[in-house]
Every structure is written in C-alpha cells, then in structure tokens.
Chains A and B, each alone.
Chain A
Amino acid sequence: MKAYFVRHLQVLFATLGNMRRSPVASITTIVIIGISLLLPMILYITVKSGAQLTESWHGQPQMSVFLKPDLADNEATLIFDELRLHPKISLAEFVTPGQALEEFRAISGLEMELDFLDENPLPASIVILPITFAQNSNELSLLRDELVKIDGIDEIRLDLEWTDRFNSILGNINRAAQLLSALLAIALILITGNTIKLLIMNRQQEIEITKLVGGSNRFVRRPFLYFGALYGFLGALVTLFLLAIAASVLHEPLSELAQLYQQSSLIYQPSLREFGLLMLFSTSLGWCAARLSVAQHLGEIKPQ
C-alpha cells in the first residue's frame, strides 16, 4: 500500500517535472484554463454581491411617505401620529424638509449648487417600517394602497419595487452565468483534452516501450490523468490570482461606492469553502478531460 502511494507521488512529481520541461505549452494551457474559469467566477461574484446588497435592503423594508408640499405643520403631525399608531407599522420617523435637504446635501455632494436654491424644494416625509409579518411584497403593496388614500399624502415609494427588479436582473445574470459555466466547462474539457492528446502523441515511443515491457493501460494512462488534474488545479490557482488582482485594483473605488450606500463592502467575498469547490471543480474537470482524451487516443498506440 505504501509503495502504491509512493508510486503516485512519484508520478505526480514526474508530471510536474515534465511540465517544467515544456514551460510554454504548460503555462499557456494553465493560463487559458485560468481565464476561462475567471469569467463565470466574476459573474458568480457579481450575482452574490447583488444578492448580498438586496438582502441588506430587504432586512429593513421601508416606505417613504411624501406629504403634500402645502400641508400645514399640524396636519403633518396628525398624519404622522396616524401612521405611528397604525397596527401594521412598527416604526415611523418624521423627516422635515430641512432634514431631507441636509441628507441630500451630504449624499449628493452638491453643496454649492444647493446654496443657489431660493427655497427648499423637498417635501416633508415620513419613513415607515412595517411590522415583520407585513414585510412581504404583497402585504407592503396592500399597505401602500391603504395609506395613499389618507388625505395629505402626496406619494408613497416602496423601496422594494426597484430591488425586486434588481433581483430579477440578478436572476437572469445568474442563469446566464450557469449557462456560460456549462459552455466554458465544455471548452475546458476540449482545451485540456487536446493538450493531453498532443502529450500522448509526443510520448508515443515511451508509451509503446512501456506497453512492451508489461505496462498496463492503467499504468500508462496515470501520468496523463495527473497532467489533466494538475492543469485544472493550477488553472484554478491562476483564476484565484486574477481575482485577487481584480479585487486589489477595484478595492478603492468600490469602497468609496460602498460608503455612499452605508455598506462595508459591495463585493461578495467567496468563502474558503467556495474557493475549495472551485479548485475541486477545476481539478475534476481536468481529470475528466484527460480521461476522455486518454480513452480516445491511448488505444491507438500499439507497440511496433
């Protein structure tokens, strides 16, 4: 048993040695695999980042109730009290036109421009948080329809509307990512399989001699399976390296953007498990590609 594992280790190191002897071909294949895996990974991270973002919004679904601009203060207070005491509303916060302008000034960075305005164009508003069981889309819509009938309320914006649309777009990106992943997996199998085929052709004499001295098909194909698996593994490492570069380049601008949305990070950071799955997937794909290629081409080589 020990000899068996030692032999596998020897094949592994011999395969690495063979890769080193033909660095250009090996590196080209590995980089192609790395780049091919990068695209679905980026889409995966994009989808996850979007999901993460909407999740944080969905955590506190809220409605913005805009009051009519000409409403008197006492009328606004009455509406605020009515909303505050509504059984489906857990929290209501009154935002005066002045507070709204200050908030807009802070977020937009249009301080100079806002100073030129003669009067504040923003209306008073009430931000409300529905109670937990009313937080699904249907209940929120019903609540909005009920509240909009209150005299003095000009408009109600349901923050979920556009996040639902955003989720729908994310769903489509997700489906596109899955389709692209499947297509790229096929491409990876073809690329790796073709590289293995070339390796088999280049080592035809060695294969013939090995078979002549009693090497079984299992023994002969083993190094090529290692080649495939190593190409996949190293290709996945290249993907991680490229992701790290992309993350490093995008870190600063995305951090600034995240601050505007009161988020610590806009980019989803894959877990170690997900990175491990990527490595496993790529290694398995390389192994499968090698297995297919070996099954197709090794039988053609017979000792002369």
Chain B
Amino acid sequence: MIQLDRVSKEYPGGHQALKDVSFTLDQGEMAFVLGHSGAGKSTLFKLITMIERPSTGRIVVDGQELHHLKESKIPALRREIGVIFQDHKLLYDRTVFDNVALPLIVIGMPDDEIRKRVRAALGKVGLSGKERAMPQTLSGGEQQRVGIARAVINRPNILLADEPTGNLDTDLSREIIDIFSDFNQVGVTVLIATHDLQQVERLKKRTIHLANGEIVPIAQAEPEEQQ
C-alpha cells in the first residue's frame, strides 16, 4: 500500500531531512512513526502526499509510482489519502459541516449524498449534532475529531496522521488513537506520527523509528524519545 525504497530528501540550503529511508506498509496495516522533532516525520508525510518530491529514491502509494506522477494527477492521489494534522488545519470561518464536506465538494458530489456522508462521518467520531457549530466553539479534542471526520469522509484507503494527539491530554489522546484503530479494523491502512509512547505501547502496533532523517533500531531511538 505504501512503499518507500531508499528515499532521501534534501531541502534547498542543504538540510537533509530524510536519508535512505525504506519501508513497506501493507494494505490494512497500522503503524506508528516515532521520532523527535526534526527527525523527518513530517517530511515523510509530505513525500507520501506529494507536497514535496523526494530528492532520490522511489515511493509507491496505492500502486502509483509517485516519481512518475504528473502534477495534474496529484489531487486524485490526495483524495485517496486522508490526512490529519496536529494543528487540525480547519477553516475557522466555516461550520463543522462545511469543513467536513470539503473533500466531497471538491469532487462535485451531489448535496444529498454530501449531507448523508457528513452526518455519518461526524457520527463515527462522536460529533453528531455539531454540524452547525463553528470550529472555534469546540474543544481541542473535538476540533481534532472534525479533522478526522474530514479525512475519512472520502473513504480513503490510507490515513496519515501527523502528531494527531500533540496538544491533547492522555484521555483525549486515547480516544483519538482508538478512532484510528477503529478505521484500521475495517481495512484502512493507518500511519501515525507521534511522540506519545504511551499510546504506541498500549496498541502494540508496528513502529518505525526515525532519528535525524534515518530509520534506526528501537534501542537507538528510545533514549531520544524519552528526553
């Protein structure tokens, strides 16, 4: 489902964000990417969603070779991937409904279908009845759920979550991670970047440790994680 083969990314100015990163995430698999700030987690996600292109190496997502993907095909790729961000990336001048409906509006889905799907998605993340609320009136956890609802509304095969529990307390973090786990249970491939070792240990899923842009063995990574 997601395959990285010796992927490196060097930004202009010489900063090497990723070095020779290789891993494969099978369909329906759930994994955590662990690493301190600047380890390359966000760059990894940017490469998978084609926000950035790798300097070297090969990335395959859902059978598509990203290296050969034309600029015009990128929107279609992003519709296959649901992305959740630590800062939620919500439109604060729009209602919860409008935020969640956005991925469906961009593909021109009829309004009736959008209404049905938004209600269903909000139900799944425990926000039924909040359609008309403005995001700033919601708590941090609720805003993150809106972000999750938006990410899953298009029924993507892949969910990427970049520090989804970064600003949440332990209980809320558990609830959010459990939502991802629920989606994984129904066959969605889930990749979560996090610092939250507690949640990682609780779910006992595969972990990919990044340090200074490289995949490292767990023993090497742990001291940095615990800092």
Q: Which residues of B contact A302 (CB under 8 A)?
A: 51
- Chain B 67-102: CB-based contact to A (< 8 A → 1; otherwise 0): 000001001111100010000011100000000001
A212 and B83 contacting across the interface, CB-CB below 8 Å: yes
Chain A interface, DSSP helix/strand/loop, else mixed: helix
* One of B108-116, B125-133, B170-178 contacting the partner: B108-116
Residues of A contacting B49 with CB < 8 Å? 212, 303
Q: How far is the CB of B198 from chain A (nearest CB, A)?
A: 28
Interface size on B, residues (CB 8 A): 23
Q: Which of A6, A208, A215, A303 contacts B106 (CB 8 A)?
A: A215
User: What is the minimal beta-carbon distance from A27 to any residue of chain B, in angstroms?
Assistant: 21
B218 interface hit (Cβ, 8 Å): no
Q: Which A residue's beta carbon lies closest to that of B153?
A: A213
**Across-interface contacts of B108 in A (CB, < 8 A):** 3-4, 7
> Which range contains the number of A residues in contact with the other chain?
20 to 34
Residues of B within 8 A of A213 (CB): 78-79, 83, 102-103, 106, 150, 154
Interface string of A238-278 (1 = CB under 8 A from B): 00000000000000000000000000000000000000000
CB pair B89 A212 closer than 8 Å:
yes
Which of B83, B106, B111 is within 8 Å of A210, CB to CB? B106
- Cβ A219 vs Cβ B106 within 8 A: yes
Closest to A220 in B: B106
- How far does the Cβ of A7 sit from chain B's closest Cβ, in whole Å? 5
Q: How far is the CA of A41 from the CA of B156 in the complex (A)?
A: 55
Which residues in chain B, 126-174, are within 8 Å of chain A measured between CB atoms? 150, 154
Q: Mark A195-238, 1 if CB is under 8 A from B, else 0.
A: 00000000001101111111111010000000000000000000
With both beta carbons as reference points, the residue of chain B lying nearest to A6 in the complex is identified as B111
Residues of A within 8 A of B79 (CB): 213-214
B interface residue numbers (CB < 8 A to A) = 49, 51, 72, 75-79, 83, 89-91, 102-103, 105-111, 150, 154
Give residues in A with beta carbon < 8 Å to B.
Answer: 3-4, 6-7, 205-206, 208-217, 219, 302-304
Please name 24 pairs of A and B residues whose Cβ atoms are closer than 8 Å in the assembled complex, sorted by A. Answer: A7-B105, A205-B89, A205-B91, A209-B89, A209-B90, A212-B49, A212-B51, A212-B78, A212-B83, A212-B89, A213-B83, A213-B102, A213-B103, A213-B106, A213-B150, A214-B77, A214-B78, A214-B103, A215-B102, A215-B106, A216-B106, A217-B75, A303-B49, A304-B51
